[in-house]
């Protein structure tokens, strides 16, 4: 009978064999504990110091004491607690799955150990079968994944072309949008300008209406002023005609007055000559001392010229006073002519 290996020897080195027959190691118990904590050692693995005698790794002091119920009446373990927590973190194990800790006695019963080993072997066989099924499912899933990946790559090429077309369409749409936004901005500016122009046109129309009203009033005023102007022009023409008539009459009166003045001047000279003759005659008579002259008396008195009434106005001065003056001058000259040689007459003796 082979000697039973010492599982507690810290200096011993161990080789690990998986249920697939793959081995790795050798490694010390401390290293195996680290592998168990990382989940690198499955509960179906076996360990050996000499490569001939193999024992379940669960019999080594690796703290692989935790079992989890993955489904109803299906358990997985024992494994390290940290490995169990890692399975729960990555989703391989439901966080709510029941967990149990295995407790071993210090002096186990050989029959119990044999039964436990048989159970473990049966569980290992079932796990191997389950692992084979899972590997087959994994292979099928891998094939499906490869096919899906190939399909996805083909579709990805198609999608890439579609993406390129869509990207080009998006770029064109963005360019059109920018153009439309610019056009919209231009139209908004134009609308604002047209609104302002319309408002200004309304204000201009209002001012034009007011200007038309004022123009109508001005036309009425101009018509009234035109009528007044025509009336004034008519009155002015009449006044000019009257003034021309008066000017003609005035010129005629001035000519007549000048002629009368000349005649009076001539008569005045004749009168002065007659007076000089009379004075000479008187001097001669005084020198002769004639008695007939002493008894002489004036038989004719000087004619008294009636005063001429002042003119009542410009028209009267132009048409009446000159005629009166001329008539008066003519009367005076006639009297002088009649009595020029008989101023003195000899008075008959009594």
Supply φ then ψ for residue 93, to 5 degrees: -130, 135
The residues that bridge with 71 in the sheet, in sequence order, are 74
pLDDT category of residue 346 using cuts at 50, 70 and 90: very low
Most confident of 40-54, 71-85, 116-130: 40-54
- The per-residue pLDDT for 118 is 62
The mean-pLDDT minimum among 160-164, 327-331, 343-347 falls in: 343-347
- Where does the pLDDT of residue 203 fall: very low under 50, low under 70, confident under 90, or very high at 90 and above? very high
Q: Is 58 in contact with 67 (CB distance < 8 Å)?
A: no
Q: Is the pLDDT at 109 greater than 60, yes or no?
A: no
Measured distance CA(121)–CA(54) in Å, rounded: 13
Under the banding of pLDDT at 50, 70 and 90, the label for residue 116 is low
Exposure string of 98-112, with b = 16+ CB inside 10 Å and e = fewer, is: eeeeeeeeeeeeeee
Mean pLDDT of 232-260: 88
**99 or 220, greater pLDDT:** 220
Question: Residue length, the chain?
Answer: 350
Pairs from 99-107 (Cβ < 8 Å, separation ≥ 24): 99/66, 99/67, 99/68, 99/69, 100/66, 100/67, 100/68, 100/69, 101/65, 101/66, 101/67, 102/65, 102/66, 102/67, 102/77, 102/78, 103/65
Does residue 289 surpass a pLDDT of 70?
Answer: no
Q: Look at residue 350 and tell me whether its pLDDT is greater than 50.
A: no
List beta partners, residue 48: 15
**pLDDT of residue 304 exceeding 70:** no
Query: Residue range 152-172: average pLDDT?
Result: 84
pLDDT above 80 for 178: yes
Q: To 5 degrees, how large is the angle CA 283–CA 289–CA 290?
A: 110
- Residues 330, 149: Cα–Cα separation, whole Å: 160
Q: What percent of the chain has pLDDT over 70?
A: 77
Contact 62, 36 (CB under 8 A): yes
pLDDT tens across 44-54, in order? 889 888 888 89
What is d(CA 135, CA 335) in angstroms, rounded to the nearest whole number?
186
Mean of pLDDT over the chain: 77
Reduced to 3 states (helix: H, G, I; strand: E, B; else coil), residue 54 is coil
How far apart, in whole angstroms, are the C-alpha atoms of residue 145 and residue 138?
10
Hey, is 101 helix, strand or coil? Answer: strand
Q: Is the pLDDT at 56 greater than 80, yes or no? A: yes
Interval 277-299 mean pLDDT: 65
CA angle 87, 90, 91 (to 5 degrees): 85
Question: What is the separation of C-alpha 43 from the centre of its chain, rounded to a whole number of angstroms?
Answer: 82
- Asked whether the beta carbons of 299 and 338 are under 8 A apart, the reply is no
Which segment of 40-49, 201-210, 295-304 scores lowest on mean pLDDT?
Answer: 295-304
User: Residue 273 pLDDT > 50, yes or no?
Assistant: yes
Helix (H) or strand (E) holding 78: strand 74-79
| Integer angstrom CA distances of residue 290 from 145, 275, 349 | 197, 21, 14
Residue 301: both structure tokens together: 């008195």
Res 115: pLDDT:
58
Tally Cβ neighbours within 10 Å of residue 36.
Answer: 26
How much is the pLDDT for 315? 46
Residue 195: pLDDT above 80?
A: yes
**Mean pLDDT value of segment 115-142:** 75
What was the pLDDT predicted at 4?
46
Q: Which of 144-153, 272-281, 302-311 has the lowest average pLDDT?
A: 302-311
265 pLDDT exceeds 50? yes
**If you search the block for the tokens 């579609």, which residue do you land on?**
162
For 15, the enclosing helix (H) or strand (E) is: strand 13-17
* Model confidence band, residue 2 (pLDDT cutoffs 50, 70, 90): very low
């Amino acid at each position: 009978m082979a000697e039973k290996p010492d599982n507690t020897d810290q200096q011993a080195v161990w080789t690990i064999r998986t249920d697939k027959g793959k081995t790795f190691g050798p490694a010390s118990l401390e290293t195996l504990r680290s592998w168990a904590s990382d989940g690198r050692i499955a509960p179906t693995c076996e360990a050996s110091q000499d490569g001939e005698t193999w024992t379940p790794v669960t019999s080594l002091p690796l703290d692989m004491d935790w079992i989890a119920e993955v489904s109803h009446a299906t358990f997985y373990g024992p494994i390290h607690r940290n490995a169990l927590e890692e399975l729960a973190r990555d989703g391989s194990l439901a966080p709510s799955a029941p967990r149990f800790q295995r407790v071993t006695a210090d002096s186990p019963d050989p029959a119990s150990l044999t039964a436990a080993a048989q159970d473990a072997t049966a569980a290992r066989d079932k796990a191997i079968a389950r692992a084979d099924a899972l590997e087959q499912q994994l292979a099928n899933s891998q094939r499906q994944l490869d096919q899906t990946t190939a399909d996805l790559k083909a579709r990805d090429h198609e999608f890439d072309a579609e993406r390129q077309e869509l990207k080009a369409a998006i770029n064109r749409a963005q360019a059109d949008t920018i153009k439309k936004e610019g056009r919209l901005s231009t139209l908004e500016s134009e609308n604002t300008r047209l609104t302002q122009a319309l408002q200004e046109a309304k204000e201009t129309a209002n001012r034009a209406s007011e200007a038309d009203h004022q123009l109508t009033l001005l036309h009425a005023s101009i018509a009234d002023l035109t009528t007044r102007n025509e009336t004034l022009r008519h009155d002015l023409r009449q006044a000019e005609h009257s003034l021309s008539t008066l000017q003609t009459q005035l010129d005629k009166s001035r000519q007549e007055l000048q002629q009368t003045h000349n005649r009076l001047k001539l008569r005045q000279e004749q009168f002065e000559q007659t007076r000089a003759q009379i004075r000479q005659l008187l001097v001669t008579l005084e020198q002769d001392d004639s008695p007939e002259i002493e008894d002489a008396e004036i038989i004719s008195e000087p004619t008294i010229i009636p005063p001429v009434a002042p003119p009542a106005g410009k028209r009267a001065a132009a048409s009446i006073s000159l005629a009166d003056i001329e008539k008066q001058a003519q009367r005076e000259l006639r009297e002088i002519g009649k009595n020029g040689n008989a101023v003195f007459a000899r008075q008959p003796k009594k």
